[in-house]
Amino acid sequence: MQHQMTYGTTTIEYTLIRKPDKKEVSISVDMYEGVRVVAPQSLEQAQLDEIMYNKAPWILKKQFGFREIEEQLAYLEFLSGEKIRYLGRTYRLKVTKKPIHKPTLHFKNGKFNAELPHHYNQVQQTTELKALCIEWYKAYGTAKIQERIRRYSKLMGLTPTSLLLKDQEKRWGSCTQKGELLINWRIMMAPLRIVDYVVVHEMAHLKIPDHSEAFWSFIRSVIPDYEERKEWLRVNGPMLNL
């Protein structure tokens, strides 16, 4: 459930999850998922408000750090020689201008090859090639993740009803009540072992909808080192962008 609090002139929004077996309040701050608070079911809202107020400086410091990361990100201009990431590796981009009407982007022989109309300026080049790159991630990513789903379906005894790669600013993936897997296309920049963690995480929600101890135990039975992969994503996730 979404909540908000005021600290000075700043409003902090957070997701609140109540758990009957929880004894203490835990607070996490993520660049994509925002502020998440897990609290005991019996804790009075006034007590929680006080805890949140005391933790506000720490929360704001974390959020400020994420904003600094965003400002330092080296976004691609899609010029010849730049490198595009896919599954943890980087591949050089070659851009050629030709007498054509529509831009194209293909991956062949370990290189991204783009062709653009002669009249395109730099803004058009960056805008159009970024859009084509995202389309490429979605297309190739869908095929790759479907392959990973087939592998883990055998191990987990679970199969999603469908898969969709989409733009999700605040999360790496989600699982709907209908059994659909929604995956952030940006994860295709990460190493395959990290992609697998996201896939297994969301598939596990087909069986266990929450993030209880049973959920994490199930994840561990499939990926024993899931905590290491989860931490990699927390630290490096903000860099997975165009």
Cα–Cα nearest to 239, from 28, 61, 68: 68
Residues 49 and 115 in one domain: no
Domain count, the chain: 2
In a domain, 190, yes or no: yes
* Poorest-pLDDT segment among 17-26, 38-47, 64-73, 112-121: 64-73
In a domain, 107, yes or no: yes
Residues 142 and 184 in one domain: yes
Say if residue 35's pLDDT is above 80: yes
**Which residue did the predictor score with more confidence, 41 or 75?**
41
Residues 23 and 142 in one domain: no
Which H or E run contains 219? helix 213-222
Residues 160 and 63 in one domain: no
Give Dmax (Cα) for the chain.
69
Residue 89 sits in a domain of what CATH number?
3.30.2010.10
Distances (CA, A) of 129 to 39, 105, 137: 45, 7, 12
Residues 120 and 38 in one domain: no
In a domain, 78, yes or no: no
Residues 123 and 223 in one domain: yes
If you average pLDDT over residues 184-203, what whole number do you get?
96
- Look at residues 53, 72, 91 and tell me which one is the last residue of a structural domain: 72
Give the domain range for residue 22. Answer: 2-72
Where in the chain does DSSP place strands (E)? 2-7, 10-19, 26-30, 34-40, 83-86, 89-98, 104-108, 111-117, 162-166, 173-175, 180-184
Residues 104 and 198 in one domain: yes
Cα–Cα distance between 121 and 116 in angstroms, integer? 10
Residues 131 and 112 in one domain: yes
Residues 202 and 120 in one domain: yes
Q: Are strands 2-7 and 180-184 parallel, antiparallel or unpaired?
A: unpaired
Question: So what's the pLDDT on residue 74?
Answer: 63
pLDDT in tens, 101-142: 999 999 998 999 999 999 999 999 999 999 999 999 999 999
Residues 142 and 231 in one domain: yes
In a domain, 77, yes or no: no
Q: Which two tokens stand for residue 117?
A: 């109309």
Residues 97 and 67 in one domain: no
